[in-house]
Amino acid sequence: MKVILRANIKALGKMGDVVEVADGYGRNYLLPQKKAVMATLGAEKSVLDEKKAHLRREKSIIEKMQDVAAKIEALQVSIPCKVGEEGKLFGSVTGADISKILEENGFEIDKRKIKIDSSVLKELGTHNVEVKLHSEVVASLSVQIVPSED
């Protein structure tokens, strides 16, 4: 069965691609989920129009995320932590902690979008953290871990 994809599907292809799939897969999954339509000339034109509109929206979103990334990269974040006598942290700084700090600065970013080299930061100093805003836009945030004053 030939179908035209209306969404990106990892194993099959991208939106607008004409692909050959098993009859059952197309009839029982792709068509009812509206992830594909039967391959006809009219459907192909319709899907191409949808694809163009989707690309315009996507471009607009990427531009907005690039602006947000520039603002995040200009931000210097300082996180005070309790430190032992030898300069080691009691605990660690996680993506959730960084997400809270970013929220205080006006950015609503999910903790799962924050990528740290290891799973947590356990040392004093300045660390670079990646913030994934979009599949194509990643901001680099400088996080400084300092000893707390209490």
Cβ atoms of residues 141 and 129 within 8 Å: yes
40 & 77 share domain: no
pLDDT of residue 119: 66
48 & 87 share domain: no
75 & 39 share domain: no
121 & 51 share domain: no
Per-residue pLDDT at 150 exceeds 80: no
42 & 92 share domain: no
pLDDT of residue 93: 87
Nearest CA-CA partner of 86 in 144, 149, 147: 147
Domain C-terminal end among 26, 60, 94: 60
Q: Which residues of 79-102 are buried (b: 16+ CB within 10 A; e: fewer)?
A: bebeeeeeeebeeebebebbbebb
Work out the pLDDT band at 33, boundaries 50, 70, 90.
very high
> Residue 84 belongs to what domain range?
69-147
- For residue range 99-142, list pLDDT tens digits in order: 999 999 999 999 999 998 776 788 888 889 999 999 889 999 99
At residue 142, the 3 state secondary structure works out as strand
Cα radius of gyration (the chain): 23
pLDDT of residue 32: 95
108 & 39 share domain: no
Mean pLDDT of 29-40: 92
73 & 134 share domain: yes
